[in-house]
């Protein structure tokens, strides 16, 4: 994150605006709407700017900028059409440890002015860090259409109920659950439509009927293979309302960052021969946090029911009487093969596909190898990097030809994705030479030969 988003209370606060033209006028409108006391310094100040800032709290000085203008201000905006002047203002402001925004020159300043969608008291602001202002404006236009003007009325109504809600519920989680329920109810819809009397009545009724929560709920959510764009809508919604997040090492940082920021994060990841926490302890954590009335997110890479031990976890929850939901995710076999241009089935190459774990619960490889020799069947091995030599050897012993195509996909669907192709006879050598690291997925079968023709995903730097 290049910049920390921050909302400033500038009411009656002195802000220096250097410049008097159209650019300065646009900045002055924003500052004025925020209640700032604007000190304008410019050799010539436009009539529109003078009219806008005719209030006595503002100061207009038609002269050249001076370093002394920086005294007793809390924020500086350099908005002249002279880049040299703007940079000098910025340099002197930084020397005084003042935040300064330089129009159309983000690198010269220490603050940027975001694109704003104003539904006061709801205000949305976003930025491209000065790199693509036109894109920021386009995004603003989209957001303007998504946020009805009535959201401001809804926020104001909610604010008027805060004290009542705080008095009704002593626990933070109970208050949060109430708000999430009422803000997606008919009360919210009435407020957005402008029918505040009806909205207030429904608010009151729901508050009177609400009860404190004794037991929370567990969300078992598949986070997919790594690309956050592959999350389902339901997964994202539950991720953003969970109080506690238990996550494993296969959940990408990009996916994890979409969880609610103020949730408690607990890492329970596993690596081969090294578990951060035993599975029984993870199961108990889910139960314990839910019994505290919390909403618990168990976030797993891929799909929780495909080699994700999700069944073991909800078995415990069911025995303990803990409510739960399960949200499927795109499993690694589907995501990684697709992003590698390898269709798992193709009527000219394979009519079935088999998902196989690379090692069993006791780390053995006691698999039904004799069932995996059919050339019309694609094999997908999860967690098979360490066992790759054994996998290739066993398949050849059972009669699968040594020239059978094999692909190994590292960090599939992410910008670090790498795909290595070869055969049962030589793929191990390629993996060793390229220092491949988990997470990986192994695909065995004739469909791998389509990779060069069908690959479409281009990771950064490729």
Active site residues: 248, 270
SS3 173: helix
* 442/8 Cα distance (integer angstroms): 52
What's the order of all strands across the beta sheet hosting 440-444?
A: 352-357, 377-382, 440-444, 405-410, 418-423
To 10 degrees, the CA torsion angle through 418, 424, 426, 427? 20
Place of tokens 């990097």: 385
Residue 183: exposure state from Cβ atoms within 10 A (0-12, 13-18, ≥19) = middle
DSSP string, 223-241: -BSS-GGGS-HHHHHHHTT
Residue 117: exposure state from Cβ atoms within 10 A (0-12, 13-18, ≥19) = buried
CA distances from 296 to 30, 54, 264, 415 (A): 41, 55, 10, 29
Task: Determine which helix (DSSP H) or strand (DSSP E) holds 410, and give its type and residue range.
Answer: strand 405-410
* 79/18 Cα distance (integer angstroms): 6
- Token output for 364: 């053995």
How many CA atoms lie within 13 Å of 168's alpha carbon, on the beta-carbon side? Answer: 23
* 284/410 Cα distance (integer angstroms): 32
Strands, E assignment, 291-404? 295-300, 324-327, 352-357, 377-382
Distance of CA 377 to the CA centre of its chain: 37
Are 319 and 345 in contact, with CB atoms under 8 Å apart?
no
Place of tokens 């009724």: 205
Strands, E assignment, 239-349? 244-247, 264-267, 270-271, 274-275, 295-300, 324-327
Which of 300, 284, 208 lies closest to 249, judged by CA?
300
- CB under 8 Å to 130, separation ≥6 — which residues? 105, 106, 107, 112
Whether residue 259 is preceded by a cis peptide bond, meaning omega within 30 degrees of 0, is no
Are 397 and 425 in contact, with CB atoms under 8 Å apart?
no
- Token output for 103: 């129009």
């Amino acid at each position: 994150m290049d910049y920390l988003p921050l909302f400033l209370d500038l009411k009656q606060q002195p802000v220096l605006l250097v410049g008097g033209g159209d650019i300065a006028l646009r900045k002055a409108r924003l500052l004025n709407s925020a209640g700032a006391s604007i000190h304008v310094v410019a050799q010539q100040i436009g009539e529109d700017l003078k009219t806008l800032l005719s209030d006595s709290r503002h100061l207009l000085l038609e002269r050249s900028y001076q370093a002394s203008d920086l005294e007793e201000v809390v924020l500086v905006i350099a908005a002249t059409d002279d880049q040299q002047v703007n940079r000098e203002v910025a340099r002197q402001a930084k020397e005084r440890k003042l935040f300064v925004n330089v129009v159309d020159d983000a690198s010269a300043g220490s603050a940027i002015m975001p694109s704003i969608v104003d539904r006061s008291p709801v205000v949305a602001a976003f930025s491209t860090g000065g790199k693509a202002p036109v894109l920021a404006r386009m995004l603003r236009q989209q957001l303007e259409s998504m946020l009805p003007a009535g959201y401001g009325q809804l926020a104001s109504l909610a604010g008027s109920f805060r004290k009542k809600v705080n008095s009704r519920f002593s626990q933070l989680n109970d208050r949060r659950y109430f708000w999430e329920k009422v803000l997606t109810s008919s009360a919210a819809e009435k407020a957005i439509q402008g029918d505040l009397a009806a909205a207030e009545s429904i608010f009151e009724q729901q508050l009177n009927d609400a009860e404190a929560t004794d037991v929370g709920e567990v969300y078992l959510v598949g986070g997919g293979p790594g690309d956050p764009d592959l999350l389902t809508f339901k997964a994202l919604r539950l991720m953003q309302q969970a109080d506690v997040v238990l996550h494993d090492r296969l959940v990408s940082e990009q996916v994890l960052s979409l969880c609610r920021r103020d949730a408690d994060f607990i890492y329970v990841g596993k690596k081969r021969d090294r578990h951060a926490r035993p599975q029984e302890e993870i199961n108990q954590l889910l139960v314990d946090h839910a019994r505290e009335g919390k909403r618990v997110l168990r976030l797993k890479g891929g799909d929780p029911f495909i080699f994700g031990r999700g069944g073991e976890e909800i078995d415990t929850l069911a025995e303990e009487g803990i409510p739960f939901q399960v949200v499927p995710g795109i499993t690694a076999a589907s995501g990684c093969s697709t992003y590698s241009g390898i269709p798992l089935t193709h009527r000219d190459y394979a009519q079935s596909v088999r998902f196989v774990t690379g090692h069993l619960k006791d780390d053995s490889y006691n698999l039904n190898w004799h069932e995996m020799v059919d050339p019309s069947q694609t094999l997908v091995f999860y967690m098979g990097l360490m066992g790759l030599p054994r996998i290739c050897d066993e398949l050849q012993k059972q009669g699968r030809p040594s020239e059978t195509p094999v692909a190994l996909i590292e960090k599939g669907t992410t910008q670090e994705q790498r795909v290595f192709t070869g055969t049962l006879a030589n793929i191990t050598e390629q993996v060793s030479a390229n220092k491949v690291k988990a997470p990986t997925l192994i695909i065995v079968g004739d469909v791998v030969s389509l990779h060069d023709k069908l690959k479409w995903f281009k990771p950064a730097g490729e």
